[in-house]
Amino acid sequence: MTMGTSLRDVLELEQVGEGLYRGQNFTAGLGGVVFGGQLLAQTIVAAGLSDPSKNVKTVHTIFARGGALDQPLDIEVDTMHSGRAMGSVTVTIRQGERLCTRALVLLSVDEPDLIRFSDPMPEVSGPLDAHSSGGEGDFWDIRIVDGVDISDAEAVGPPELDVWTRFPGPPSEGALGQALLAYATDGFLIGTAMRPHAGIGQSMAHVSISTSVLSHTLTFHEPVDASQWHLISHSSPHAGRGRSYGRADIFSEEGHIVASFVQDNMIRSFPKEQQPKAGEHSKF
């Protein structure tokens, strides 16, 4: 079986050897392609299993090739270093001979503060006042601040986007909370970069323009409970030469910064030989 009935299902990895795991795919609304956020989430779970005494601090992932929903995922964890306070592993995800992603993950224990400060949360409306986008079924609740529609190719605005997100259900803390929050980080920075450009919107991705996440670096600052509301404040300072760069900070509803991430993306016209047929989506 390669399909999970829920996101939490696919985060239950099957251990098949020393540092080796088998993962399922989650099917929600993705048109035959494995969502990058799922691969990020499974990477975090696998890294956490390698050393339960530590937490994932930073994960830097390169997306080499797209994954197919109808094939299982083979996940391999290699330990680079394991110390008292910190460790590092690589996590590689394959489908057969096809290498999909490789991540370098920094693990860390909690230590006492020597110094402490953090940026304040942007002044935006709360989740109950934001526009609900519906998310993906009952498992993921998404609220867009100011009702911005990044799918609308004619809606023009600054390359910024504030999104409230949560995964309703029992408390989701530790590695599970980190994995769920990582899932939510992968869906909005391409659309954010498109906002200043009339005639370009996220609904065109894989249909009339070619887009893809190339690399994703996520750092956790504080423990998270993904069942609670978090604000993801996105911005894109640059797009050009077929690429875009985006960054975001994640805040708890109480206003505390809990994580940050950056992303390199591809946004370009399809090469002629890769143009999808009318009514079709590009697979990879």
What's the whole-number average pLDDT of the chain? Answer: 90
Confidence band for 4, pLDDT divided at 50, 70 and 90:
low
d(CA 176, CA 138): 18
> Domain boundaries in the chain?
1-109, 124-284
Task: Report which of residues 228 and 276 the model is more confident about.
Answer: 228
Q: Do residues 259 and 219 make contact, with C-beta atoms less than 8 angstroms apart? A: yes
Enter the CATH code of domain 1-109.
Answer: 3.10.129.10
Which CATH class, in words, describes the domain spanning 124-284? alpha beta
| pTM reported for the whole predicted model | 0.91
> Cβ neighbours of residue 125 under 8 Å, at least 6 residues apart?
145, 146
Fold: same for 1-109 and 124-284: yes
Q: Using one digit for the tens of pLDDT, what is the confidence trace for 10-32?
A: 999 999 999 999 999 987 655 67
Q: How much is the average pLDDT of 58-64?
A: 99
Which of 87, 94, 103 is CA-nearest to residue 41? Answer: 103
